[in-house]
Amino acid sequence: MRYTQIAYQIIGTIAIGFIAGYFADKWLSPGFPLFELIFSFGAVIIALYLVIKNISKKEG
């Protein structure tokens, strides 16, 4: 069950980053998906950090 929660956390984090980038691009319209790329990449980094943090926790 613990790893299922981690998987949903990864999906949610990356989805939030992508959606935030999408709306930032629509609002600022830079001509190409600049904020989608930046926010998605940042969300992947955050998701990896959270995975490492959750996996390294001791059970108990």
Helix (DSSP H) and strand (DSSP E) numbers for the chain: 2, 0
pTM: 0.83
In whole angstroms, what is the distance from residue 46 CA to residue 39 CA? 10
User: What mean pLDDT is reported for the chain?
Assistant: 91
pLDDT(45) > 70: yes
Of 36, 50, 45, 56, the closest CA to residue 6 belongs to 50
Secondary structure letter of residue 58 according to DSSP: P
pLDDT(19) > 70: yes
pLDDT(58) > 70: no
User: Are the C-beta atoms of residues 60 and 30 closer than 8 Å to each other?
Assistant: no
In whole angstroms, what is the distance from residue 7 CA to residue 36 CA? 21
Q: Which two tokens stand for residue 31?
A: 């001509």
Q: What is the pLDDT of residue 60?
A: 54
